[in-house]
Amino acid sequence: MKHGFVKVAAASPELKVADPAYNAKKIGKVIEEQHERGTEILVFPELSISGYTCGDLFLRQTFLDGCMTALKEVADGTKGKKMLVFVGLPVPHGGKLFNCAAALSDGKVLGFIPKRCIPNYNEFYEKRYFSSADERDFPTDGKESMPISPDLYFFDEHHPEIVVGCEICEDLWASESPSSRHAQNGAVIMVNLSASNETVGKREYRKTLLAAQSGKCICAYVYADAGVSESVSDMVFAGNNLIYENGTMLSEALPFSGEVAEAEIDTGFLLFERRQNTTFSAREKGLFRGASFVGNADLTLRTVSPSPFVPQGKELERRCGLILSMQSSALARRLKHTGAKSAVVGISGGLDSSLALLVTARAFDLLGKDRKDIIAVTMPCFGTSGKTRANANALMQAAGVTIRSISISGTVSRHLRDIDHDAEDHNVTYENAQARYRTMVLMDLANEENGLVVGTGDLSELALGWCTYNGDHMSMYAVNASIPKTLVKSLIAYEAKRLGGRMEVVLKSVLSTEISPELLPPDEKGNIAQKTEDIVGPYELHDFYLYRFLRRGDSPAKTLYLAERAFSGKYDRETLKKWLVNFYKRFFAQQFKRNCMPDGVKIGSVSLSPRADWRMPSDASGALYIKQAEEL
């Protein structure tokens, strides 16, 4: 298993109703094909050896014997293959007949899982033939060579955390689905052998069930559905093969297509999610059978997004609108609660301050307040460039706010002399003196105007500590604190398009401006000399690393492995590794800034607030992560 990924597939091969020998050959062919593709868990539909629509033939011993003979043939076909295969067939046991899933691996039948929820919608349905697993007690000592139990689980002998649970068709539709109990018993991958007929609207409902069940059980769900070869006397089956992971669909076979659904499940992420969920507790009951089915193949199917915080297509527009509404509503609530007459925003002409001003304008509109009570302040100093100053002025004018320009170069120069600092020494003292004085100006101006200082810093800067302690690090409400830099750009682009006109022109200029704190003098041509991404690294990489570390719980090795795929052709391995090491160094070293960050609205699943999300002591060591990253 490479970095916790397991390859799974759901297939609906051609069959002949009531011809087990024919069906066994077709199933065996798919097993061979999927083995060549590196599939580790392969699922076939309900009663796939017999066919689901056999009717009263299920009650004939000759037919049942034929199904068992076919099962042996299918099991023999798994010998020497590193796979766990599930097929369906009728199994007589204790004088009753059960609709079962058989688990196969390396030539053996590991056991049978009987269906619990037997549908009885009309005379065609299963209660005419099959008993429910709840109607009798099954052996629980696990001594049988081929045990039968609804609570039978399968784990990989070399990776015992990879536990597979099984339910059958209607079990998913029940109010108390067996898979819920399976998840509590440690199963992280669920398989469902189904024969769900197709009717108008049923596909959408089925997908809703699978998304919800995989989400609330924090599991992967592999659903194999009966295909078009079943009898069409009264129904039609479409082969709706579907694979979900924690509420998200990874793969689907189109109806009536005969396609195989394939996906790579991130079991490491699922186990990480379960560790975080304190309402999730494993009971560890049932029968557990070991097998060797997990390999070590590279990812071939799974797409790794280089911008995990930024959705694509139409979803991006919807998401941007929602986020801006969340930010502005939260700020409006805070303004109303504090009784602030005004809002004070420092404007640099860069991305973050532009977004903060846009959010503040939205908040004032929500409250019905005059935008003239937004006091937008530019504070030019040693590093201010002509382009950012022009951006700032044009933005403030277009927003219709009160404009203040307070030059701080003289005051900061006097301050540097007061502390005996050589003004030609452009070290961290030189830079931070400007940032801290700007914050003091904003705070004092807010006091003077009965206002509230709106913070501009974003999530990426907080993660890297790229902010001056008690400088731009501090505000009275931080509206961007949960917005990563890569998403800041999308939000501004969204507002530019929405607002149009003069504002669109200004915001496009902001988007084209180099990211910089502008604390060092411009070059001889008046251009920005201090470029943030030259110093700390590309924000697109750091946002990717932040997401993998906080949201997915990935190790340094897994993060680099995925980064190579996400940024293939753009960054080489050494560059990715260099900035990954830098990410861990900065993230652990800068926790002291996050431990006293101001209030700010949580937007997405990743937040660094010390009150509700990320809790870590300021003196926690990052040696483990840094060492692992350096040794990659």
H-state helical runs in 339-374 = 351-367
Measured CA angle at 431 (ends 451, 533), to 5 deg: 95
Residue type, 290: G
Residues in the chain: 632
Residue 85 β-bridge partners: 42, 104
Residue 242 β-bridge partners: 223, 252
- Per the residue annotation, which of 54, 100, 117, 169 is the catalytic one? 169
How far are the Cα atoms of 178, 327, 393, 451, 501 from residue 399, in angstroms, in the given order?
57, 17, 10, 18, 12
Sequence-ordered list of residues with C-beta below 8 angstroms from that of 575, at least 6 positions apart, any chain: none
What would the DSSP string read from start to end of 34-55?
A: HHHTT-SEEE--TTTTT-TT-G
> Where are any strands of DSSP class E within 132-260?
152-156, 159-168, 189-194, 220-225, 242-245, 248-252
Residues 187 and 406: their CA atoms lie apart, in Å, by 62
596 assigned to active site: no
CA 439, distance to chain mean position in Å, is 36
List % helix, strand, coil for the chain (3-state, nearest 5). Answer: 40, 15, 40
Cβ atoms of residues 264 and 130 within 8 Å:
no
Residue showing tokens 């070869």? 229
207 assigned to active site: no
DSSP state for residue 371 in the 8-state scheme:
G
- Per the residue annotation, which of 40, 46, 126, 518 is the catalytic one? 46
Residue type, 409: S
- Per the residue annotation, which of 115, 369, 558, 593 is the catalytic one? 115
Residues 413 and 409: their CA atoms lie apart, in Å, by 6
Tokens of 158: 């070399």
What would the DSSP string read from start to end of 169-187?
A: THHHHSTT-HHHHHHHTT-
504 assigned to active site: no
Cβ atoms of residues 115 and 171 within 8 Å:
yes
What would the DSSP string read from start to end of 531-571?
A: -HHHHH--HHHHHHHHIIIIIS---HHHHHHHHHHHTTTTS
Q: What are phi and psi of 446, to 5 degrees?
A: -65, -40
Starting at the earlier edge strand, list the strands of the sheet with 96-105: 108-114, 96-105, 84-93, 41-43, 5-10, 261-266
How far are the Cα atoms of 222, 308, 310, 313 from residue 547, in angstroms, in the given order?
26, 7, 11, 20
Residue type, 567: F
CA 210, distance to chain mean position in Å, is 17
* CB-CB neighbours of 372 under 10 Å: 11
Cβ atoms of residues 378 and 393 within 8 Å:
yes
- Catalytic residue ranges: 46, 115, 169
